[in-house]
Structure 1
Amino acid sequence: MKKRIAGILTAALIGTTVMGTVVMAAPSGAIDVISREDGSGTRGAFVELFGIEEEKDGEKVDMTTQEASITNNTDVMLTTVAGDENSIGYVSLGSLNDTVKAVKIDGAEATAANVADDTYKVARPFNIVTGDKLSDAAQDFINYIMSSDGQDIIEKEGYIKVDEKAEAYKAGDAKGKVVVMGSSSVGPVMEKLAEAYQKTNKNITVEVQVSDSTTGINSATEGVCDIGMASRELKDEETKKGVKATEIAKDGIAVIVNNDNDLEELSSDQVKSIFTGDITDWEDVTK
Structure 2
Amino acid sequence: MENKMKYLVIGVVAIIIVAAVGVFLFQDNDDDNDEGGVIVQKGSDTLLELCQIWAEEYMAENPAVEVEVSGGGSSTGITALINGQVDVAQASRQIKASEIESAQAAGFTPVEFKVAIDGIAIIVHTSNDVGVLTVEQLRGIYNGTYTNWNQVGGADEDITLYGRQSTSGTYEYFWEHVLQKENYSQDMNMLSGNSAIVAAVQGDAGGVGYVGIGYADASGINVLDLKADAESEAFAPTDESAVKSGKYDLSRYLYLYTKGTPTGIVKDYLRWIVNFDDGQSLVGEIGFYEISQNAYEDNLVKMGVTPASVTLTQKGSDTMLELCQIFSEDFHEEFPWITVEITGGGSGTGISALVNGQVDLAQASRSIKASEIAAANANGVYPVEFKVAIDGIAVITNDDNGVTNLTKEQLQGIYNGTYTNWNQVGGADLDITLYGRQSSSGTYVYFQEEILDNENYSQDMNMLTGNSAIVNAVQGDAGGIGYIGIGYASASGIKVLDLRETEADPTFSPLDEEAVLSGDYMLSRYLYIYTDGTPTDQVSRWMSWILSSDGGQSVVTEIGFYPLPQAVIEQEMAKLG
TM-score when normalising by structure 2: 0.29
Alpha carbons 1:182, 1:211 under 8 Å: kept: yes
Note the 1:196-275 alignment, pairs <5 A. 207=188, 209-223=190-204, 226-234=207-215, 236=217, 238=218, 240-244=219-223, 246=225, 247=237, 248-259=249-260, 263=263, 269-271=271-273
| Residue equivalent to 1:18 | none
Hey, what does 1:72 align to over in structure 2? 72
- Count matched residues: 209
Pair 242,232 (structure 1): closer, same or farther in 2 beyond 3 Å: closer
What's the offset of the Cα at 1:51?
8.7
Query: Which residue among 125, 132, 144 is the counterpart of 2:137?
Result: 144
Is the Cα contact below 8 Å between 2:48 and 2:71 reproduced in 1? Answer: no
Residues 32-89 of structure 1 deviation map (CA, whole Å, 9 limit, x = unaligned): 321458xx331234456x59559xxxxxxxxxx8751523222221111222276123
Distance 1:229 1:35, change over 3 A: same
Tell me how far apart the structure 1 counterparts of residues 78 and 136 of structure 2 sit (CA, whole Å). Answer: 32
- Sort the Cα spacing of 1:225 and 1:45 in 2 relative to 1 into closer, same or farther, 3 A: farther
Question: TM-score normalized by structure 1?
Answer: 0.51
Structure 2 counterpart SS, 1:94: coil
Matched residue, 1:113: none
Which of 42, 48, 68 pairs up with 2:47?
42
Judging changes above 3 Å, is the alpha-carbon distance between structure 1 residues 211 and 134 closer, same or farther for their aligned structure 2 residues? same
Counterpart residue identity of residue 243, structure 1: N
Say which SS state the counterpart of residue 72 (structure 1) adopts: coil
Query: By percentage of residues, which structure has more strand?
Result: 1
The answer on whether the counterparts of 2:124 and 2:208 sit within 8 Å (CA) in structure 1 is: yes
Q: 1:178 to 1:257 in 2, by over 3 A?
A: same
Secondary structure of 2:77 counterpart: helix
> Among 11, 17, 39, which residue is 1:32 paired with?
39
Q: Hey, what's the Cα distance between the residues in 2 that align with 1:144 and 1:268?
A: 39
How many angstroms apart in 1 are the aligned matches of 2:181 and 2:67?
42
Q: SS state of the match for residue 188, structure 2?
A: strand
What secondary structure, in the 3-state scheme, does the structure 2 residue paired with 1:41 have?
coil
1:76 and 1:224, CA in 2 relative to 1: closer, same or farther beyond 3 A?
A: farther
Moved more, 221-230 or 27-36: 27-36
Is contact 1:88–1:256 with CA below 8 Å preserved after alignment? yes
Q: Mark the CA change 1:102 to 1:178 in structure 2 (over 3 Å): closer, same or farther.
A: farther
- 8 Å CA contact retained: 2:28, 2:87: no
**Residues 1:131 and 2:125 are matched in the alignment:** yes
Q: Structure 1 pair 68/218, CA: closer, same or farther in 2 (3 Å)?
A: same
Aligned to 1:20: none
- Partners in 1 of 2:258 and 2:202 — Cα distance? 36
CA contact (8 A) 2:42 2:71 kept: yes
Unaligned runs of 5+ in 2: 1-16, 59-64, 104-108, 143-150, 226-236, 238-248, 280-302, 305-577
Q: How does 1:177-196 map to 2 (within 5 A)?
A: 178-182=160-164, 184-192=168-176, 193-194=178-179
Please tell me the residue identity of whatever aligns with 1:102: V
Q: Secondary structure at the match of 1:214?
A: helix
Change (3 A) 1:224 1:122: same
| Correspondences of 1:52-67 after superposition (within 5 Å) | none
Distance 1:182 1:224 in 2: 19
Shift of 1:6: 5.2
Change (3 A) 1:83 1:5: farther
Q: Distance in 2 between matches of 1:233 and 1:214?
A: 10
CA drift of 1:235 comes to 5.7
Structure 1 residue 26 displacement after superposition: 6.1
SS of match in other structure, 1:270: helix
Distance 1:8 1:41, change over 3 A: same
**Aligned residues of 1:182 and 1:217 also touching (Cα < 8 A):** no
> Are 2:41 and 2:67, in contact at CA under 8 Å, matched by a contact in 1?
no
1:86 and 1:30, CA in 2 relative to 1: closer, same or farther beyond 3 A? farther
Q: Distance in 2 between matches of 1:177 and 1:102?
A: 41
- Secondary structure at the aligned position of 2:210 is classed as strand
In 1, the alpha carbon distance for the partners of 2:23 and 2:55 equals 29
Q: 1:101 aligns with which of 110, 113, 123?
A: 110
Relative to structure 1, the CA distance from residue 7 to residue 84 in structure 2 (aligned partners, 3 Å threshold; closer, same or farther) is: farther
Shift of 1:12: 5.1
**Structure 1: gaps (5+ residues):** 14-24, 55-64, 105-109, 111-120, 151-170, 276-284
Residue 4 and residue 187 in structure 1: after superposition, are their counterparts in 2 closer, same or farther (change >3 A)?
farther
Contact 1:12 1:86 in 2 (8 A): no
Rounded to whole Å, the distance in 2 between the matches of 1:229 and 1:146 is 12
Mark the CA change 1:71 to 1:45 in structure 2 (over 3 Å): closer, same or farther: closer
Structure in which a larger fraction of residues adopt helix: 2
Q: CA deviation at 1:126?
A: 1.3
Distance 2:133 2:188 in 1: 14
* 1:188 to partner: Cα distance: 1.3
Q: Which amino acid aligns with 2:39?
A: D
Q: Which residue does 1:116 correspond to in 2?
A: none
Q: CA RMSD in A?
A: 5.1
Q: CA deviation at 1:212?
A: 0.7
Equivalent-residue separation in structure 1 for 2:127 and 2:78 (angstroms): 37
Secondary structure of 1:123's counterpart equals: strand
- 1:252 offset after TM fit, Å? 1.3
Preserved contact between residue 9 and residue 84 of structure 1 (Cα < 8 Å): no
